[in-house]
Chain A
Amino acid sequence: MEWVFRNDLPIYSQLVDRIKLGIVSGALPPGARLASVRDLAMEAGVNPNTMQRALQELEREGLVFSQRTAGRFVTEDTAAIDEVKKTLARGQIESFLAGMKELGFDREEIIALLKEDA
């Protein structure tokens, strides 16, 4: 997957979102070892300090932990991962609802449409 960045957001926060997505989708499974900062920076085509900052942010959020010499790993706390997944899902739903509202649908109509689709 290509690393593409939006222009209106800080690069580090986009890296955080991108790695989060990898974790909740299972592409980076619980306990998986992450590549080194330099390798990740090369892969994303970003400055290593920016990648470092993104990883520190993920550490702060408890999704990633580092072991002194062994490197950085994805958390094994699947409950925490599910929690993030839910938060991301809520964000998707909110933006979907906002889009539908702009199209002039109210809640019941949206639900009816969704059922039709399913």
Chain B
Amino acid sequence: MAILECKDLSKRFGKIQALDSINLKIEPGRVVGLLGPNGSGKTTLIKLANGLLTPTSGEILIDGKAPGKETKAIVSYLSDKEYLPEWMSAKQLMDFFTDFYADFDRERAKEMLTRLGIDETMRIKQMSKGTREKVQLILVMSRQAKLYLLDEPIGGVDPATRDYILDTIIRNYNPSAAVVISTHLIADVEQVLDDVIFIQNGHVTLQSSVDEIREEKGKSVDAYFREVFKC
């Protein structure tokens, strides 16, 4: 069964149609890029999957269920904004995640923090932007979730941090879970993706595998994306 499914999913904000009758399915074991220019509807889709927004019409199903308490237990979400309380230390955040999520693997998180040389007593506000991003990702990827929704995980980080983030995604790969990465920085993530979904003005314009695009078009997904979304 698909871990994420959208059926004629629409979301409207006043006069703005953010998503227009979207249909898609994401299967477990896949790493999927949700690709589109700014304002195309990527974040809206991810927020709908999290239950942070509700559909105007149509359905979004996580493991066959509408977003709610049960689905939140199996969805691990990385927001595109920094949302961790600044006064908390890495250790307090791990306590927090342990309380909130039954599937949080504290040992895994600790190990990843140690490997990066991040002191557990360090507070978020004492950390550099790159370190904060890494800590957020470590917390999110340390859950044994069925669906990881990563909204712009590599936006605005230096190349070394970006490599670390992509490495962490591969390292934690689990064949029974799906990972959705929303980004407009395609060249950077292309190698770690199985499939891509192109989203444009609230419409899904393409759902294909990376190697299918490369095989059929004779160019990278990045080059193809630039062609499709040419301004």
Contacts and interface: CB of A to CB of B under 8 A. Distances in A.
SS class, residues of chain B in contact with chain A: helix
A46 to B, nearest CB: 5
Among all A-B residue pairs, the 9 with the closest Cβ atoms: A10-B211, A7-B220, A10-B214, A46-B191, A48-B173, A47-B192, A10-B215, A49-B194, A8-B218
Given A8-B219, A38-B173, A42-B171, A50 B194 contact: yes
Given A11-B191, A47-B193, 17 more contacts: A7-B220, A7-B222, A8-B214, A8-B218, A10-B214, A38-B170, A38-B171, A38-B173, A41-B170, A45-B170, A45-B191, A46-B170, A47-B31, A47-B192, A49-B194, A50-B191, A53-B211
Contacts of A7: 214, 219-220, 222-223
B30 interface: yes
Contacts of B190: 11
Contacts of A46: 170, 191-192
Interface string B60-87: 0000000000000000000000000000
Contacts of B166: 45
Nearest to A53: B211
Interface in A35-64: 38, 41-42, 44-50, 53
A75 B50 CA distance: 48
A48 B186 CA distance: 18
A53 B171 CA distance: 18
Contacts of A12: 211
A5 interface: yes
A1 interface: no
Interface of B: 29-31, 163, 166-167, 170-171, 173, 190-194, 210-211, 214-215, 218-220, 222-223
A42 B194 contact: no
A89 interface: no
A112 interface: no
Contacts of A47: 31, 170, 173, 191-194
A79 interface: no
A86 B167 CA distance: 36
A10 B213 CA distance: 8
Nearest to B192: A47
11 contacts: A8-B214, A8-B219, A8-B220, A10-B210, A10-B211, A38-B170, A41-B173, A42-B170, A45-B170, A45-B191, A47-B194
Contacts of B191: 5, 11, 44-47, 50
A9 interface: yes
Contacts of B163: 45
Interface string A1-30: 000010111111100000000000000000
A73 B173 CA distance: 23
Nearest to B222: A7
Contacts of A11: 190-191, 210-211, 214
